[in-house]
Amino acid sequence: MTISNSDDAWDGEPSGYRRSEEEEADTLDSLQSQFSSDNHLLLYADVKSNSSVEELARVVVEKKGVPDIIVNNAGTINQNKKIWEVSEEEFDSVIDTNVKGVANMLRHFIPLMIPNKQGIIVNMSSGWGRSGAALVAPYCASKWAVEGLSRSVAKELPEGMAIIALNPGVIHTDMLTSCFGTSASLYQDPDTWALKAAMMILNLTSADNGASLTV
């Protein structure tokens, strides 16, 4: 998840956080060592928790001001299973992270952005949010929800703001490996993708409101 208060495309003030404190402690430490300047604010928040996101919004605004760009990219996927093999706990984890997490972010950040009548919100979708696939039905359902949520909220935003659903394409991540196995390594790495995605996101305008785009 990235929140930017920058008018300068690449050298902005991102505030980033990870979904699971335990799983991502090492990553957070690494990011803090790489981005130790005052331009960066790295925080932990549980997007599934309304109160956690509420506190995140408070701290971000207090320390950096109202964000200009928000990228809602916290996400998880179920293990490859048929829907009747997916436990209630695993199903809830996917929906709570991928859908409720986005809703919590919108709930607490949009009201802060509205007075400025500007701001871009990017909700990470998926090719599986526009099609279906066996063994990942919970994930597909969650990304279809992100698409619908984005298009609906677009009709509620004031002129000057924009919310879009962004399909990142296929990227070699741990999540992809959990689905594709070793063949996941055939796809582009996250660093290569990030450069293309950043330029695309930084060039979004209010004219893109409600769009479903692909990197």
Res. 2 pLDDT band, cuts 50 70 90: low
Three-state DSSP at 4 gives strand
Q: Which of 200, 168, 201, 202 is nearest to 187 (CA)?
A: 168
Measure Cα distances from 12 to 69, 151, 215 in Å.
Answer: 10, 27, 21
Look at residue 58 and tell me whether its pLDDT is greater than 60.
Answer: yes
Choice among 17, 44, 139, 187 that is catalytic: 139
Model confidence pLDDT, tens digit, residues 191-205: 888 889 999 999 999
Domain 2-214 coded CATH 3.30.300.10: no
- Is 88 exposed, middle or buried (CB count within 10 Å of its CB: 0-12, 13-18, 19+)? exposed
Res. 12 pLDDT band, cuts 50 70 90: very low
* Pairwise CA distance, residues 163 & 170, whole Å: 22
- What's residue 181's pLDDT? 82
Q: At 97, list the tokens.
A: 């992270």
Q: Where are the domains of the chain?
A: 2-214
Tell me if residue 44 is catalytic.
no
State which H helix or E strand residue 193 sits in.
helix 190-202
